[in-house]
Amino acid sequence: MQKIILGIAGEIASGKGTAAKYLIDRYGASTHRFSTSLRDVAKRMYLDESRENLQKISTMMRENFSDDILSMVIYRDVANDDNQVVAIDGVRRLADIEFLKKILEFKLVYINTSMENRYERITKRGENVDDNAKTFEEFKKDHEREAELQIKDLKDMADYVIDNNGTLEQLYAQLDEIIQK
């Protein structure tokens, strides 16, 4: 099998992590997340790993270094990864795509999910410390933050668009189809 590198993009709680986990479980994929280095910094600074703090760290890094600083980290991580299937979780910006498209095996997958389904998921999973108690209005405001603004534009640049408003089995079938191509 030829090496497959899938960049997974989608709005908050669209199913990016679920897709990456399936690729790990089914295909032995390795995974790299854009948020990992941000979480590393937050932990080191003894800050809560809230969405707001992670977005502030991201903005600070990009403003002081370069817009593609996080994609350069991911690029190096992927270059050193020997797995046949690699998932990059959390592609968010157009600058990320331009850098990652330099990788021959890279394909962008956009996961499309309704806002209502995403809100229900985020309050159940509690990935960030502020997710469980979030109101629907707060969730909508999260989409207005700088780190979220370019995500919708990635859909037009995607090699594949997945509809994740159905069952897990339907999501997995769409991922299987991409891997088989």
Strand 85-91 with 4-10, pairing: parallel
Classify 5 in phi/psi space as left (phi over 0), alpha (psi -120 to 50) or beta. beta
Could you read off the pLDDT of 104-133 as tens digits, one per residue? 899 999 999 998 998 888 887 766 556 666
Q: Domains for the chain: give ranges and CATH numbers.
A: 4-180 (3.40.50.300)
SS3 per residue for the chain: CCCEEEEEEECCCCCHHHHHHHHHHHHCCEEEEHHHHHHHHHHHCCCCCCHHHHHHHHHHHHHHCCCCHHHHHHHHHHHCCCCCEEEEEEECCHHHHHHHCCCCCEEEEEEECCHHHHHHHHHHHCCCCCCCCCCHHHHHHHCCCHHHCCHHHHHHHCCEEEECCCCHHHHHHHHHHHHHC
Mean pLDDT score of the chain? 89
Tens of pLDDT, residues 83-107: 999 999 989 888 888 788 888 899 9
C-alpha 114/C-alpha 165 separation (Å) is 7
122 or 140, greater pLDDT? 122
pTM for the predicted model, two decimal places? 0.83
Give the whole-angstrom CA distance, residue 46 versus residue 15: 28
pLDDT at position 12 over 70: yes
List the strands of the sheet with 30-33, edge to edge: 30-33, 85-91, 4-10, 106-112, 160-163
In the predicted structure, residue 20 carries a pLDDT above the cut 90: yes
Name the token pair of 73.
Answer: 């980290």
